[in-house]
Amino acid sequence: MAPTSLRLKTAAVAAGLAGAALFATATPAAAENPPYDGCPAWALCLYQNGGGLGSKAIVTPPPAGGNQAIVRLTKVHFLNGDLADNQVSSWINNSQCSVKFWDDPYGELHPSDLDYTGTWNWGATSDYGAGTSESYNNDRISSLQFYCP
C-alpha cells in the first residue's frame, strides 16, 4: 500500500472515531423550551413558571387604533389546560400595545395595579418567580388591560 493511501485511510478512521465520540457524548434534548420561547408577534404570552418557563397562554391584543380591552384570566387557559387566573409567574409582550396587569380577584373594576409595560416595547418581560425582586406578585395577576395605539 502506498504511504499516501495509508495516511488517507488513517485520517478517515480518525475522523470517523472523532465523529462517533461527539455523537456518543451529545447531551439529550432539553425537556423544557428555552425561556420565553414560542411567543408569536402581536401577542402577549403569560408563563406559568418564572423566567418565561413552563406552559404558556397566548393572549392576542385588540387591533391597533386606540382600542382598549380588558381580559379576565378566569377565561384564559395555559396550553396545558390549567386556568391562567392567579397562576402567572412571568410574561413577555411581543405587541405594540401597553398592558396593565391587575390583581382583581372578584372581577370588580377596582383592581390593584401589579405591573405595566408601555407601548412600542416589543420583547418586554417580567418575572415574578422565586428569588426575584418582584416575587411578591407571583400568581396574583387575574386581569389585563390593553391599550393599542
**Collapsed DSSP state (helix, strand, coil) of residue 83:** strand
What mean pLDDT is reported for the chain? Answer: 80
Query: Which pLDDT belongs to residue 14?
Result: 46
Task: Scan for cell 397566548, then name that residue.
Answer: 58
Answer yes or no: is 87 within a domain.
Answer: yes
Q: Which domain holds residue 51?
A: 44-148
Q: Could you tell me which residue, 29 or 103, shows the higher pLDDT?
A: 103
Answer yes or no: is 51 within a domain.
Answer: yes
Answer yes or no: is 26 within a domain.
Answer: no
Report the C-alpha gap between 37 and 32 in whole angstroms.
10
Query: Which pLDDT belongs to residue 1?
Result: 53
Answer yes or no: is 9 within a domain.
Answer: no
Whether residue 10 is predicted with pLDDT greater than 90 in this model: the reply is no
Answer yes or no: is 79 within a domain.
Answer: yes
Across 24-43, average pLDDT = 69
What is the number of domains present in the chain?
1
Beta bridge partners of 102: 113, 143
From its phi and psi, is residue 38 left (phi > 0), alpha (psi between -120 and 50) or beta? Answer: left
Query: Which pLDDT belongs to residue 54?
Result: 94
Check: CB of residue 46 under 8 Å from CB of residue 76: yes
| CATH number of the structural domain spanning residue 125 | 2.60.20.10
